[in-house]
Structure 1
Amino acid sequence: MDHQTYQQHSLHGSDRAWVETNCYIDVWIEVLHSLKLNPVACMSMVFALDFDGDQWTFYKPPHEDLFALYGIDVQELNVWRSLLENACTQLQRGRLVLTEADSFYLPDTSGTDYRSNHVKTTIAIQEIDLEQQRLGYFHNSSYHQLSGEDFVKTFRVGAPHDATFMPLFAEFVRLDHLHYADDQALAIISISLLAKHLARRPKHNPISLFMPVFIADVERLKTEGLAAYHAYAFATLRQLGAGFSIGASYLRWLQQSLVMADDAAEQLNTAAAHFEAISNATKTLLLKTARAVMGKKPVDLTPGLIEMAQHWQSGIDQLTIFVGEQSRANGKVDG
């Protein structure tokens, strides 16, 4: 693969409200895309998003969903030698390796973390050139390459033994059972996965629960500064907004991929519009919050959150009706 000519998936297009979501799902979008698979089909897990007290769910495509849709089998990589040695073994067997890495040595983060901040992130290793000390990897919204000192530091090449060093978490991706299906076949499988994730949705409106915590957090952030705000925004607003933006895209893909009655199509269309509204409102809230934190002036953020909570409830209600009707039409009984 050539990192200079690689064409990223449309979910990472410049026209998106959220070009990036979180490191794990962004990597999977591009890994699936590079394998000529449709990553949109595995995005139904976003409808189980919840506010978890100090963050929004860091959503990931479940491994069982990846196998059901694409035949992709993900297993934990036991890094019992070194990451470099174990990764090379897996790549030689025709597999990919997903691993935590330090953004400090990832050139694609230039302008943010590269050579300035030590931040844990997830990359997918596609190619290792030992002789040239070069690594080809997926990260965030595209495919990249690093070499030289970045390679040495990423893999701790030649580092003295350190009994206190703990290997980072890694996985390998088996492609032995990889299979391809058109969008209609994928959508049929994906509807059952959607029902599973929708059944796991929060029992109470999570945006309503988030609102008082968020208002209090903004006041605290005014004393902590912009760096604290950026970390907070990634854990909360970005996961919320980007998640439902992907959810809206997923529902519109489902609508286009299946033959369905007009009322079912309208349910999906209406639900997608509500989740898009959450995405857009969160983007606005992100900017307002930044100004509030930096300006330290009182800003009433409540009206936007109330509207977002209403959109969540309406979108979930429409989606619940759709899934229920599809289950009955297929002769299934909801539990």
Structure 2
Amino acid sequence: MSVCALTNIDVNSYVPHALHGADRAWAETNCYIDVWLEVLHTLKLEPLACLPMVFANDFDGDQWTFYKPAHDDLFALYGVDVQELNVWRGLLDNALTQLQRGRLVLTETDSFYLPDTAGTDYRSNHVKTTIAIQEIDLEQQRLGYFHNSSYHQLQGEDFIETFRIGKPADPCFMPLFAEFVRLDHLQQHPPATLAAMSLTLLRKYMSRRPQKNPVRQFQPVFLDAVEHLKQEGLAAYHAYAFANLRQLGAGYSLGATYLQWLQQHSELRTELCLDAAITEFNAISDTTKTLLLKTARAVMGKKAVDLAPLTEQLAEHWDQGMSLLTTTLHLDAG
């Protein structure tokens, strides 16, 4: 018997949100925000409204911010209430209880058993990621879940391994972090109302923006890292690119799309001329995509490639984009 938090979702006809469309420069961003984009989309809520947090992104020394929608933001915008799930009976039993109560379960899990990662991690790499469990069928040993850019299913051995069914007690095994999503207070605001609420969040996150250009902080660290990656190989490059270049480029790509949505739906759209800032943040996305490809060639080809000009372009786009957005929102330039 199948237990669903929301409703039966046909994995074959599921249509992802446009942010995960084939025309996007970055079809995937990071596992947590990607899951939320699809969950909110399935709930017929506008996920773009929760994206202002990307404008607080920073270079954190060895990675760019792994941005996530804050739980307070999700509740303020949509009435979505996220709480930690105490997996005291084991993930399967605790998840079933929540699904039966109409609650989604977000959990960290191992990509090794996720068939949607075929070609990257499936049955080849043990990598932690986040999924949102929406359906469990014990009899068919089937799991329906949101992950990355869409909705998927797994079953059989993957189901058994994901939930550790039949595994002997292992004192060294520590359950991964999990959350459940309460929908009791769910709200669907008119677009103009939602945009006004989101604009408040944008001002909040702009007040938390880096005080110094984070791309300039990133430049010397990145150029040094490329030299080390030449010795470490492709696997190290992919890990580095995900933690740094993808989070940088995809974050500001989301930011540009968010500003387009805000300008379209805000009642202040006559005052919010965001086109110039949007152009700068899209340029960060496009330039980072170019940098990603050139870095791969530099690492694998072992030839000297001058990547400094691209990082300088990124720094200039960040300065211009943030300056324009600060001025448009009438914020303190800091």
TM-score (norm 1): 0.95
Map of 1:222-237 to 2, 5 A cutoff? 222-237=230-245
The equivalent of 2:5 in structure 1 is none
User: Which letter does structure 1 place at the counterpart of 2:272?
Assistant: A
Count of matched residue positions in the alignment of Structure 1 and Structure 2: 326
Mapped pair 1:11 → 2:19: yes
The equivalent of 2:286 in structure 1 is 280
Mapped pair 1:256 → 2:264: yes
Mapped pair 1:311 → 2:317: yes
* In structure 1, C-alpha distance between the alignment counterparts of 2:269 and 2:149, rounded to whole Å: 36
- SS of the aligned residue for 2:143 comes to strand
1:98-148 deviation digits (Å, cap 9, x = unpaired): 000101100101111111111100000001111111100000000000110
- Determine which of 112, 115, 119 is the counterpart of 1:104: 112
Q: Hey, which bits of structure 1, 4+ residues long, moved more than 4 A?
A: none
The equivalent of 2:253 in structure 1 is 245
1:49-102 deviation digits (Å, cap 9, x = unpaired): 000000000000000000010000000000111000000000011100000010
The equivalent of 2:193 in structure 1 is 185
- Determine which of 151, 162, 174 is the counterpart of 1:166: 174
The equivalent of 2:222 in structure 1 is 214
* In structure 2, C-alpha distance between the alignment counterparts of 1:301 and 1:139, rounded to whole Å: 33
Kindly, what percent of the aligned residue pairs are identical?
69
Whether the 8 Å contact between 2:31 and 2:148 is mirrored in structure 1 is yes
- SS of the aligned residue for 2:329 comes to helix
The equivalent of 1:138 in structure 2 is 146
User: Which letter does structure 1 place at the counterpart of 2:52?
Assistant: S
* In structure 2, C-alpha distance between the alignment counterparts of 1:140 and 1:294, rounded to whole Å: 27
Mapped pair 1:129 → 2:132: no
1:174-204 deviation digits (Å, cap 9, x = unpaired): 0000010122111000011111111111110
> Cα distance, 1:322 vs. partner?
2.2
Map of 1:9-88 to 2, 5 A cutoff? 9-88=17-96
- Determine which of 297, 303, 308 is the counterpart of 1:297: 303
* In structure 2, C-alpha distance between the alignment counterparts of 1:297 and 1:183, rounded to whole Å: 51
RMSD of aligned Cα (Å): 1.3
Whether the 8 Å contact between 2:114 and 2:122 is mirrored in structure 1 is yes
Higher helix share: 1
> Cα distance, 1:261 vs. partner?
5.8
* In structure 1, C-alpha distance between the alignment counterparts of 2:233 and 2:173, rounded to whole Å: 32
The equivalent of 2:162 in structure 1 is 154
The equivalent of 1:265 in structure 2 is 272
> Cα distance, 1:235 vs. partner?
0.3
Whether the 8 Å contact between 2:142 and 2:159 is mirrored in structure 1 is yes
- Determine which of 115, 118, 137 is the counterpart of 2:123: 115
* In structure 2, C-alpha distance between the alignment counterparts of 1:211 and 1:334, rounded to whole Å: 23
Mapped pair 1:2 → 2:10: yes
Whether the 8 Å contact between 2:145 and 2:152 is mirrored in structure 1 is yes
The equivalent of 2:3 in structure 1 is none
Whether the 8 Å contact between 2:196 and 2:267 is mirrored in structure 1 is no
* In structure 2, C-alpha distance between the alignment counterparts of 1:33 and 1:198, rounded to whole Å: 25
* In structure 1, C-alpha distance between the alignment counterparts of 2:256 and 2:30, rounded to whole Å: 17
Unaligned 5+ runs, structure 2: 1-8
- SS of the aligned residue for 2:168 comes to coil
User: Which letter does structure 2 place at the counterpart of 1:191?
Assistant: L
1:144-187 deviation digits (Å, cap 9, x = unpaired): 00110000000001110111110000000000000101221110
Moved more, 11-20 or 310-319: 310-319
